[in-house]
Amino acid sequence: METKRPTNPAAEEILGGYFPVLDHGFVSLVDYMGSDEDVERAARVSYGYGTRKVSQTRGLVRYLRRHHHTTPSEMVELKFHCAMPMFVARQWIRHRTASVNEYSGRYSLMPLLFYRPDLDHFALQSPLNHQGRRPEHAPAELYKKVIEHWDRVRQEAADGYRWMVEEDVARELARIDLPLSTYTQWYWKIDLHNLFHFLTLRADAHAQWEIQEFARVMAGMLKRVAPLSYEAWIDYNVRAHAMSRGEMDLLRRLLESDAEGVRPRDGAESITLEDFKEFGLAPREAREFLEKLQPTDVPDYELDLSRMRSAEELAAELEEAVPGSFE
């Protein structure tokens, strides 16, 4: 059936397809409303859909992003179906700008699926980042012992859940000992502006690796819905950095500008970490400033269509994770 709604063929290609994330998770683009043209139409309050050149749309989209005019991008929405471990969901839900409907363990039986990190992503606590892990993986022997512990705890929790349900204990009580590694699901609908904010934080290398994996897949879906807005987000958010007052003062010390452009200031000397104190920058701020000046690669969020699976295939796997005695 034909539609009068604006669509994007690249988005239509993946609509309703499921992309695996982690060991049992997934992300699906269930629906979307609008694309780059709708951002432009909202900004211009225009009825001339399809009458402007792509270059004109691109120029306006980039101008809006560059100057933080956000309301036009709020007119585009994306709706996702996602499955993730509960500890990822608790990080995710901190972004309070979406409409969310989560799987109910009071109404439905919980599929007994648990997240298990592989050795490459099992690490010790970082001595610098108090909420993160070291970049290198922990010793394999420790990993083996932890896996044995997790398997034992999860098996006991799963057996307890199964037993209580069989004894007709209320599902809302039977579930309460399931660990944070248990998978949950939700429908998550968000506008384009707030999705950019979510992805900027959660696709960043400083975010927990597990939620980064979800953010990368969602960024690939966004790229297909609104490619010009995606490009502007990469240029003005992902590969760009805000500068503090101290950092701007520091750059002015090193550079001078006039009508001809910007060039090194005559007699400018290299600045050490100690010199940063003069500009009110703490050691951590100094390190972050230096990181901002390092060249960065363009992230590759392109979706691998060979990994896309059908809803029926995913549903069958979830049903298998609910023991037959629960039927």
Enumerate the active-site residues. Answer: 202
Q: In Å, how far from its chain's centre is CA 78?
A: 14
Taking the C-alpha atoms of residue 146 and residue 152, their distance in angstroms, rounded to an integer, is: 10
Taking the C-alpha atoms of residue 314 and residue 4, their distance in angstroms, rounded to an integer, is: 31
Taking the C-alpha atoms of residue 244 and residue 259, their distance in angstroms, rounded to an integer, is: 24
What residues pair up with 102 in beta bridges, in sequence order?
Answer: 186
Going by C-alpha positions, the residue among 125, 126, 124 that lies closest to residue 143 is: 124
Taking the C-alpha atoms of residue 313 and residue 66, their distance in angstroms, rounded to an integer, is: 42
3-state secondary structure of 303: coil
Going by C-alpha positions, the residue among 157, 166, 119, 116 that lies closest to residue 138 is: 119
> And the tokens for 78?
């994306």
Q: Which residue has the tokens 């452009």?
A: 261
